[in-house]
């Protein structure tokens, strides 16, 4: 899962970024609103964590520009301004949630999970399912036919992205750009390697194969017809 975190306070940004990465997220960070729009112009994110008080361009202006451009990426606003009027203005401008500083990291990640669940399933369920495969967005537990499948953090991230987009063919480049941030310098076949590992863990021993290669296009998760 790839996040954009926009925060101009260096110490808070550095600490939160480190903890988000440790929690398994891919994170791009910036410190002002203009740079945030530059990131959003070239990358698709699962969630944007956006401070309101930013240099060059404030968070509400960034949010409004996103919505004018038709970007429906979930936005979690962070601010030291906790009045009802401030929260209402943020939500009316297109924010999906609002968190007042100082905040606990556990609450931040819980709110991120809620936003992703809303995008994945209108019922708000934390479970993604395909045939007999289940992925829990909260616990990161993966089951196939009731048996737990142990995955590395990157294997889980790729599977989560495929499951969030089940039935949609995703190119290798799209998967790579979504899972790793801009600092990553990987090999040309890194996605193929991870897909092979996922197939071995998820599909071996099952008649129903769930991960499919679309020659010349990429990969898709779907049930065989």
Residue 139 belongs to a domain with what CATH number? 1.10.10.10
Domain span holding position 104:
2-120
Average pLDDT of the chain? 90
Q: How confident is the model at residue 67 (pLDDT cuts 50, 70, 90)?
A: very high
* pLDDT at 187 (0 to 100): 59
Last residue of a domain, one of 68, 88, 120: 120
The count of structural domains within the chain is 2
Q: Taking the CA of residue 57 as centre, how many other CA atoms within 13 Å lie in the half-sphere pointing to its CB?
A: 17
* pLDDT at 123 (0 to 100): 54
Residues 63 and 145 in one domain: no
Question: The domain that contains 81 carries what CATH number?
Answer: 3.40.50.2300
Residues 85 and 189 in one domain: no
* pLDDT at 117 (0 to 100): 81
Last residue of a domain, one of 73, 103, 120: 120
Residues 18 and 104 in one domain: yes
Name which of 40-44, 160-164, 172-176, 188-192 the model is least confident about. Answer: 188-192
The pTM score is 0.76
* pLDDT at 185 (0 to 100): 60
DSSP H or E segment with residue 224: none
Residues 22 and 6 in one domain: yes
Residues 54 and 21 in one domain: yes
Residue given tokens 């060059």 in the structure block = 56
How many degrees, rounded to 5, is the angle at CA 221 between CA 198 and CA 46?
90
* pLDDT at 124 (0 to 100): 59
Quick count: other Cβ atoms within 10 Å of Cβ 146?
Answer: 7
* pLDDT at 178 (0 to 100): 82
How many degrees, rounded to 5, is the angle at CA 183 between CA 137 and CA 103?
50
* pLDDT at 186 (0 to 100): 60
Q: How far is CA 177 from CA 134, 172, 181, 184, 218, in A?
A: 24, 9, 7, 9, 13
160-175 pLDDT, tens digit each: 999 989 999 999 988 8
Last residue of a domain, one of 120, 155, 173: 120
* pLDDT at 121 (0 to 100): 64
Name which of 88-92, 157-161, 199-203 the model is least confident about. Answer: 88-92
């Amino acid at each position: 899962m790839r996040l954009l975190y926009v925060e101009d306070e260096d110490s808070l940004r550095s600490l939160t970024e480190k903890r988000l990465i440790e929690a398994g997220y891919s994170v791009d960070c910036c410190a002002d609103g203009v740079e945030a729009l530059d990131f959003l112009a070239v990358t698709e994110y699962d969630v944007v964590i956006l401070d309101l008080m930013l240099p060059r361009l404030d968070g509400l202006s960034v949010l409004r520009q996103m919505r004018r451009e038709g970007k429906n990426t979930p936005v979690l606003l962070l601010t030291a301004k906790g009045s009802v009027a401030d929260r209402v203005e943020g939500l009316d401008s297109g924010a999906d949630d609002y968190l007042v500083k100082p905040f606990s990291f556990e609450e931040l990640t819980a709110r991120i999970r809620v936003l992703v669940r809303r995008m994945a399933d209108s019922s708000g369920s934390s479970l993604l399912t395909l045939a007999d495969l289940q992925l829990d967005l909260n616990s990161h537990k993966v089951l196939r036919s009731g048996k737990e499948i142990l995955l590395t953090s990157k294997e889980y991230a790729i599977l989560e992205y495929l499951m969030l987009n089940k039935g949609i063919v995703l190119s290798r480049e799209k998967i790579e750009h979504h899972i790793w941030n801009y600092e990553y310098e990987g090999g040309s076949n890194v996605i193929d390697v991870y897909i092979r590992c996922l197939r071995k863990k998820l599909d071996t021993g099952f008649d129903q194969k769930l991960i499919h290669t679309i020659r010349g296009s990429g990969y898709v998760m779907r049930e065989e017809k």
